[in-house]
């Protein structure tokens, strides 16, 4: 292969570097203000013991095939049954990742003639599925119920006769704010539509029993929920909850489910234990809530910035290069903060995303914010 064949890739990477948007893999180090391990379960002795016990009782590491061939292990089915009971869903399907679950559900559930109206800040994985859907799609202003209603109204006025699909996150990953789920569910009801709620950053942390922010809507046929297992649950994978007919449709039509090797049965065993921990140890949620409240108040006091009210605290910087400089200095001083830049967030809104987890305490939070204040003052725009 000639060197020229790689030139276009090098040029693109160089362009990203000039714009402060080139992504790099970095080793883990410093005090954790970046991970989504909200309940500090990723290194939990109970999860380790559950996996050890699963190995000892003969649970295999690999599934050996897709769920529709020989990969449908008893651990998958046990997890799905227990998750359905935990989240009070009619049925649950286990996926290898939240990305795979979002891509699968949006690519097949909305039908030709339907309309997907999604929040402008919804996860990239949802966009992946929406792009593959046969339904029309529109973005609505973030958390603006009227914007969702107007989009559906215009579609109906133009002759739209299918079903609208409203797609949101319950707690937004880069802003830490909550979706108006009750009003959106009412909007879906008025238009004979569906509401898809990505609970990724609320699962295990918020709602009754740690079941997420959609608990008031549990069991309704027009609600689809997605609970990721790699954040507060400390493992990996995702649990998609919906009516039996919608889940069965995914099993029959979603290529990402049909043609993927099933997740590791050992992972399923670990997620089963993670759900038990959430149920058995409510103090974890209470402790995280206390830390989050402290961090929100300290952010206002130290940096003069309004908090999000959740465990996700964005510190807006604006300029990509400045965000990278501040993050690098904080990392060098032992605080693992990362810069989030476009296209992950809108142009001009580069930020530091502070994640509060049970891996830190109040002293570490206060020390990090004090140091961040000084670094931001030194790294002026």
Catalytic residue among 32, 36, 119, 296: 36
Catalytic residue among 97, 107, 170, 173: 173
Both structure tokens of 209: 């029993």
CA neighbor of 312 nearest in space, from 30, 26, 119, 121? 121
CA neighbor of 314 nearest in space, from 20, 80, 34? 34
Catalytic residue among 76, 123, 191, 206: 123
| Nearest-angstrom CA–CA distance, 284 and 282 | 5
Residue 36 falls in the annotated catalytic set: yes
**Which residues neighbour 279 within 8 Å (Cβ) at sequence distance 6 or greater?**
86, 209, 210
Taking only Cα atoms into account, the Rg of the chain, rounded to an integer number of angstroms, comes to: 22
| Cβ count within 10 A of residue 273 | 24
Catalytic residue among 37, 114, 169, 336: 169
CA neighbor of 39 nearest in space, from 206, 162, 170? 206
Residue 82 falls in the annotated catalytic set: no
Catalytic residue among 201, 214, 296, 359: 201
CA neighbor of 231 nearest in space, from 36, 32, 30? 36
| Nearest-angstrom CA–CA distance, 155 and 138 | 10
Residue 276 falls in the annotated catalytic set: no
Residue 198 falls in the annotated catalytic set: yes
351 with 340: CB under 8 angstroms?
yes
How many residues belong to the chain? 381
Residue 134 falls in the annotated catalytic set: no
Catalytic residue among 32, 198, 336, 379: 198
Phi, psi of 175, deg, nearest 5: -120, -25
* Residue 228: strand pairing partners: 238
| Nearest-angstrom CA–CA distance, 353 and 339 | 7
Catalytic residue among 32, 231, 292, 336: 231
* Residue 352: strand pairing partners: 315, 339
Which residues are known catalytic residues? 36, 123, 169, 173, 198, 201, 231
């Amino acid at each position: 292969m000639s060197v020229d064949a790689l030139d276009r890739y090098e040029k693109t990477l160089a362009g990203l570097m000039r714009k402060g948007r080139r992504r790099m893999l970095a080793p883990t180090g410093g005090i954790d203000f970046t991970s989504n391990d909200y309940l500090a379960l990723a290194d939990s002795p109970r999860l380790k013991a559950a996996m050890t016990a699963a190995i000892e009782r003969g649970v295999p590491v690999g599934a050996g095939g897709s769920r529709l061939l020989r990969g449908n292990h008893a651990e998958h089915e046990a997890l799905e049954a227990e998750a359905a009971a935990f989240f009070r869903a009619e049925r649950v399907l286990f996926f290898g990742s939240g990305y795979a679950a979002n891509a699968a559900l949006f690519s097949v559930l909305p039908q030709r003639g339907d309309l997907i109206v999604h929040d402008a800040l919804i996860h990239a994985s949802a966009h992946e599925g929406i792009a593959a859907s046969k339904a029309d799609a529109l973005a609505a202003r973030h958390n603006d119920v009227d914007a969702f209603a107007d989009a559906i109204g215009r579609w109906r006025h133009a002759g739209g006769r299918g079903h609208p699909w409203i797609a949101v996150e319950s707690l937004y990953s880069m802003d830490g704010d909550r979706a108006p789920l009750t009003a959106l569910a009412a909007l879906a009801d008025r238009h004979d539509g569906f509401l898809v709620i990505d609970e990724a950053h609320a699962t295990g942390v918020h709602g009754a029993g740690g079941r997420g922010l959609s608990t008031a809507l549990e069991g309704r046929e027009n609600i689809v929920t997605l609970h990721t297992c790699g954040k507060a649950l400390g493992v990996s994978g995702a649990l998609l909850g919906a009516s039996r007919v919608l889940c069965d449709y995914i099993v029959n039509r979603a290529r990402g489910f049909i043609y993927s090797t099933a997740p590791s049965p050992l992972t399923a065993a670990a997620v089963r234990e993670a759900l038990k921990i959430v149920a058995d140890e409510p103090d974890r949620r209470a402790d995280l809530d206390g830390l989050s409240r402290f961090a929100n108040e300290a952010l206002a006091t130290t940096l003069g910035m309004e908090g999000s009210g959740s465990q996700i605290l964005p510190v807006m910087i604006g300029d990509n290069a400045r965000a990278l400089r501040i993050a690098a200095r904080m990392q060098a001083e032992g605080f693992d903060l990362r810069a989030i830049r476009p296209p992950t967030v809108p142009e001009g809104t580069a930020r530091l995303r502070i994640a509060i987890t049970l891996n830190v305490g109040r002293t570490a939070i206060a020390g990090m914010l004090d140091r961040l204040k000084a670094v931001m003052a030194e790294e002026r725009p």
